[in-house]
Each structure stands twice: as structure tokens, then as C-alpha cells.
Amino acid sequence: VEIACHNIPEGIAVAIPYLAGTGNRWRAFGWAAASGLAELVGGCIGALIIYVTNRDLQLSNTGFGIAFGLTAGVMLFVAFAELAPAAYKYDHSRFWAHFAILVGFAIMALSEIILAVAEEGEGEHGHNHGCGEDHGHDHDHGHEHH
């Protein structure tokens, strides 16, 4: 959910400067949509790599670590080396840039809390502890086994 949520401000971050520079709304929309397609292309490349290297389409724990590490590195680099400096460049007081960064963190933290509460509620009513993970505990919950 968080990764999907970051696509909204990402699209805005692509469209607004293009719109401001050209005044062409359709082209700004087109470039924002094209940047979203890059994610689809990246997903297809990742799926292809998994398919070629592991025919049962399972990624090892090391593979997940590498994939998530690469993704985190790219996102952090873009955030700290490109987006935050651009925000400070345009907001000379730095107040609104700081405020927006904090709001972004708060939105992501709130979405984590909402998801945790929703998964906890699912676990109470249907023994589904979020995507069917095995948490290493007995799922007896007071039911008799015959």
C-alpha cells in the first residue's frame, strides 16, 4: 500500500514542473503517466529475472533481501539527493518543505497503523493473520481437534 501511495506524489512531482515549464496540461499528464509505466516495466523485468533464475517463481530470502535493498537504496537516493534539495530550493523559508516531508512521513506511518489494525481484525474473525503467514504459533484458538 505504501509503495502504491508514493506513486501519487511521484506523479505530481513529475507533472507540476513540466506543466510550469511548458503550460501544456496534456503533455504534463503524459509524462506523469509515462513515469508510472516505468514501474510496470521494472516489475516485468524483475519478474523475468525471477523466472529465468528460478523456474518455480520463488525468490529466496537472499533474493528478497537484495531486491528490497536495491529498491530502498534507489528510493532513498532519489528522496535525499533529488527531491528534498529541490523542495528546499523552491521553499526559501524551508518551513513548508519541512512540513510537507513530515506530513509525508505521518501519512506513511498512519497507513502502517491502519493496516496493522485491519490485519489484527481479520485474524480475530477468520484466522487470517494477513496474507496467511505462519507466525510460528499454534492456531488452536480454543477449538477442539478430533
pLDDT in tens, 81-103: 988 998 899 899 999 999 999 99
Residues 14, 35 contacting (CB under 8 angstroms): yes
Predicted TM-score (pTM) of this structure: 0.52
Residue 13 pLDDT level (bands cut at 50, 70, 90): confident
Angle, helices 25-53 vs 2-22, to 10°: value is 140
pLDDT of res. 136: 46
pLDDT at 132 over 60: no
- CA pair distance 32, 37, nearest whole angstrom: 9
- Per the model's pLDDT, the better-predicted residue between 56 and 107 turns out to be 107
